[in-house]
Amino acid sequence: MTVKLGARAFAFALAFLVTTISAAWAADRTITLELGAGSAVVLERPYKTVLIGDPDVVDVQPQGERSALLKPLNLGATNLVFIDETGIAIANVRILVCSAGSI
């Protein structure tokens, strides 16, 4: 029984480490959008879920297993976290929405 608990603890720690590394690797990515102009984002790996920090700033419409269309809704900033089918964060993208002509 002790071996199973040790193996589970190791598996949990490994999954946590991989999730942290994946999120940290993608944390530097920033996309700036203008109101009225959407943009596509393409990921290196397939994703299953997108978490939107502030859904009042940007809408995300899946376009395939590796791409999505970003539609700016209001001025502001938010983050998008793309999660794969195993629950691991594969990209953390900062979104900045500016007024048209300010970029």
Helix, coil or strand: residue 66? coil
Longest dimension (CA), the chain: 64
Confidence of residue 103 (pLDDT cuts 50, 70, 90): low
46-84 per-position pLDDT tens digit: 999 999 999 999 999 999 999 999 999 999 999 999 999
Domain ranges of the chain: 2-98
6-52 per-position pLDDT tens digit: 544 444 444 444 434 434 444 458 999 999 999 999 999 999 999 99
What count of other Cβ atoms lies within 10 Å of the Cβ of residue 24? 11
Please name the CATH architecture into which domain 2-98 falls.
Sandwich (2.60)
Determine the Cα–Cα distance for residues 66 and 46; give it in Å rounded to an integer.
5
Q: How many CA atoms lie within 13 A of 69 on its CB side?
A: 7
DSSP-derived secondary structure for 4-37: HHHHHHHHHHHHHHHHHHHHHHHTT-EEEEETTB
Assess whether pLDDT exceeds 70 at residue 102. Answer: no
